Amino acid sequence: MARKSTNQIAARADWERKRDDWLAKLRDLIDSIKSWAEQRRWLVDEHEKTIDEDHIGSYPAPTLFIQAPSGKIVVEPIGCNIIGAEGRVDIESFPSLNRLLLILVNGQWTIETDSRIHWPEPWSENVFVKLVDALTSAA
């Protein structure tokens, strides 16, 4: 009984650590995107959404609404309990609903298209700007 309880506490601590690592990475990502967008004088609005995941429960996470000259973009975190990854953030344009995925693997953000084709370039400011343009200009 005591061992089961200890295991449960350890498992709980693991999930909390996983959530905290993910939120720290997410915060860095959101801050970078905000800064890159603001440098270009794009309108940026940060909001909060509630993510609810098994084992972890509900927690708040930041989202971004960006008005770029070519269109609107939403940066939306999906969660950290993702198959084959440590986290996922969707970048979606409106009203076209074109979407890209930022996947956190081994602590690094990688980009996948909506068709789950791996984007060959690493995540960076230049790539972000290029992707915003591609997302908002595609029909």
Partner 1 sequence: MNTREIISQIRSCESMCAAGKAATAHFLKVCQSDPSHIPPVARFRVRDIRDCHHDLERTYLVRMFAIFEVTLREFRTRISGRRSHPTVTQLMDGIAARCRMPVDHLTLAHAVREFRNTLVHGGGSGSVTLDEARSHLCRFLSNLPRQW
Which chain residues interact with partner 1 by CB under 8 A?
53-54, 78-79, 81-85, 88, 97-99, 101, 103, 112, 114-116
Give the integer Cα–Cα distance in Å for 74 and 71. 10
In whole angstroms, the minimum distance from the beta carbon of 83 to partner 1 comes to 5
Name the minimum Å distance from CB 113 to partner 1: 8
Which strands sit side by side in the sheet containing 108-113, from one edge to the other? 43-53, 57-68, 71-79, 87-94, 99-105, 108-113
Instruction: Using the minimum distance from each CB to partner 1, give the nearer residue, 1 or 97.
Output: 97
Residue 4: CB minimum distance to partner 1, A = 22
Which residue, 32 or 110, is less far from partner 1 as judged by CB? 110
To partner 1, the closest distance from the beta carbon of 120 in angstroms equals 18
Sign of CA dihedral 108, 116, 30, 135: positive
The residue (of 37 and 80) whose beta carbon lies closer to partner 1 is 80
Report the residue number, 57 or 69, with the smaller CB distance to partner 1: 57
What is the distance between the alpha carbons of residues 130 and 58, in angstroms, rounded to a whole number?
34
Distance CA 50, CA 62 (A): 9
- Report the run of H or E that residue 71 belongs to, with start and end: strand 71-79
